[in-house]
């Protein structure tokens, strides 16, 4: 942004409209801050059923139909985007008919919701959250040799950029969470994109030496015990679940007192479900023998339990393809976790080997087990990394690059 957005004067608050199909999504902290500032008037548009925020007026939409199964599969994502854009367009027209005129529209363009914003409010300043730009190679597609990408996969990935490219043309300014995510976008648009991570709540996510976590069977784990944690929205290869599971036999054998807690759902957020099992948990349990008395699957956790799990962690493992960086990694760092992360681009931007965490080859499950065991055997030798991880979460990382 070349010119800062600021209140226009007493009695004339800046009108900010957020657009996100799962509002608030990444805009939660920003929306709350603006909601509580008398210099701003905040409203939002989201898909029916989105969480919303107290005190923020929300208009919701439903799609009048789904993308057609007969549409070419390269183009289906674009049709999906147009349908979302059309649904939001109807809401925008209704807002204009009621006399609404937002000054600023902050939106995630990933679902196509803002494709037609400028047709209704051409003078509103449109700020896009540029989370990811797809590539046929060099990022997530084709990264994992266990799941090789076909030419069809690569072509379909590139086709998914059509609405994102349109969004880049439409917006007045853009934000990317990390330098790597910005770099994925076409170079011609880089001057328009600033690197500003949406952040995590470091007041809520903090170390607690007295924390406890109750396992599903009633056993209570305490901070200071040899507890290894792994968290993902869903247990799947994109977040290295297969690598983590393959590390468990050596890890359990190498430290007979450690407990492993795995939190996450059994669906698929990214990539594909396994063709030979109900989900990736079932697929990996068939491959990897584990001791169910020491390896615990919690499913998706309520926030308070999730925080306690991170607070009792002796070693937290975070693995990811070259893809969007998870909040859970930064929240683990905010809780002072000793982080062992994959040596992949988005992780390296926040974690420096031996400075605020440890890195390991994404695919090397034997090396992963050894890194975790080293920490469990000599936790005091690595204690300084916990404080450094917390400091990274507090001060931020990947500061804006001036563009």
Tokens of 354: 């031996």
Tell whether the model's pLDDT for residue 169 goes beyond 80.
yes
- The pLDDT assigned to 37 comes to 96
Question: Do 211 and 312 form a contact (C-beta atoms < 8 A)?
Answer: yes
Better-predicted residue by pLDDT, 88 or 398 = 88
Q: What is the DSSP string of 368-392?
A: HHHHHHHHHH-GGGGHHHHHHHHHH
- The pLDDT assigned to 402 comes to 42
Tokens of 20: 């996100």
Tell whether the model's pLDDT for residue 8 goes beyond 70.
no
- The pLDDT assigned to 10 comes to 54
Least confident of 6-10, 259-263, 299-303: 6-10
* Whole-number Å distance between alpha carbons of 373 and 250: 9
- The pLDDT assigned to 267 comes to 93
Tell whether the model's pLDDT for residue 9 goes beyond 80.
no
Least confident of 1-15, 148-162, 217-231: 1-15
Tokens of 385: 């990394």
Q: Which residue is listed with tokens 């869903």?
A: 234
* Whole-number Å distance between alpha carbons of 308 and 393: 18
The arithmetic mean of pLDDT across residues 74-100, rounded, is: 96
Tell whether the model's pLDDT for residue 399 goes beyond 80.
no
The arithmetic mean of pLDDT across residues 253-282, rounded, is: 95
Instruction: Report CA dihedral (383, 387, 388, 391) to the nearest 10 degrees.
Output: 170
Given pLDDT bands bounded at 50, 70 and 90, which one contains residue 385? very high
- The pLDDT assigned to 199 comes to 87
Q: Which residue is listed with tokens 């409010």?
A: 121
The HSE-up count of residue 389 (CA atoms within 13 Å, CB side) is 31
Instruction: Report CA dihedral (314, 300, 46, 78) to the nearest 10 degrees.
Output: 90
Tell whether the model's pLDDT for residue 345 goes beyond 90.
yes
Mean pLDDT of the chain: 94
The 8-class DSSP code of residue 22 comes to: T
- The pLDDT assigned to 7 comes to 52
Given pLDDT bands bounded at 50, 70 and 90, which one contains residue 403? very low
* Whole-number Å distance between alpha carbons of 310 and 121: 44
pLDDT single digits (tens) 23-37: 999 999 999 999 999
205 vs 200, 325, 331, CA distance in Å? Answer: 8, 17, 6
- Nearest CA to 108 out of 157, 164, 180 is that of 164
| Percent of the chain with pLDDT strictly greater than 70 | 96
The HSE-up count of residue 143 (CA atoms within 13 Å, CB side) is 21
The arithmetic mean of pLDDT across residues 78-106, rounded, is: 97
Question: Do 336 and 207 form a contact (C-beta atoms < 8 A)?
Answer: yes
């Amino acid at each position: 942004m070349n010119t800062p957005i600021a209140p226009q004067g007493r009695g004339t608050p800046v009108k900010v409209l957020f657009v996100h199909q799962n509002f608030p999504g990444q805009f939660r902290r920003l929306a709350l801050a603006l909601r509580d500032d008398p210099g701003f008037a905040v409203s939002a548009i989201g898909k029916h059923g989105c969480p919303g925020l107290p005190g923020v007026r929300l208009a919701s939409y439903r799609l009048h139909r789904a993308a057609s199964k007969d549409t070419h599969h390269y183009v289906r994502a674009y049709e999906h985007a147009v349908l979302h854009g059309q649904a939001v367009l109807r809401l925008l027209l209704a807002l204009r008919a009621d006399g609404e005129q937002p000054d600023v529209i902050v939106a995630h363009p990933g679902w196509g919701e803002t494709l037609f914003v400028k047709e209704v409010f051409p003078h509103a300043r449109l700020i896009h959250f540029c989370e990811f730009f797809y590539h046929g190679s060099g990022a997530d597609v084709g990264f994992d040799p266990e799941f090789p990408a076909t030419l069809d996969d690569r072509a379909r990935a590139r086709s998914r950029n059509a609405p994102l490219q349109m969004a880049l043309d439409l917006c007045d300014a853009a934000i990317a969470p990390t330098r790597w995510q910005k770099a994925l976008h076409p170079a011609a648009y880089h001057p328009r994109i600033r690197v500003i991570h949406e952040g995590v709540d470091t007041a809520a996510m903090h170390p607690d030496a007295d924390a406890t976590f109750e396992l599903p069977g009633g056993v209570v784990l305490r901070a200071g015990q040899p507890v290894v944690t792994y968290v993902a929205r869903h247990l799947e290869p994109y977040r290295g679940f297969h690598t983590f599971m393959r590390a468990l036999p050596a890890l359990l054998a190498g430290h007979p007192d450690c407990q492993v807690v795995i939190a996450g759902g059994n669906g698929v957020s990214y990539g594909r479900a396994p063709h030979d099992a109900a989900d990736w948990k079932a697929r990996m349990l068939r491959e990897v023998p584990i001791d169910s008395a020491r390896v615990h699957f919690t499913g998706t956790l309520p926030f308070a339990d999730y925080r306690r799990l991170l607070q009792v962690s002796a070693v937290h493992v975070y693995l990811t393809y070259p893809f969007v960086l998870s909040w859970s990694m930064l929240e683990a760092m905010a809780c002072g976790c000793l982080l062992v992360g994959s040596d992949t681009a988005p992780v390296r931007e926040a974690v420096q080997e031996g400075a605020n965490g440890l890195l390991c080859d994404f695919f090397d499950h034997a090396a992963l087990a050894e890194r975790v065991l080293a920490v469990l055997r000599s936790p005091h030798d690595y204690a300084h990394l916990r404080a450094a991880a917390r400091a990274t979460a507090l001060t931020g990382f990947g500061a804006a690059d001036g563009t």
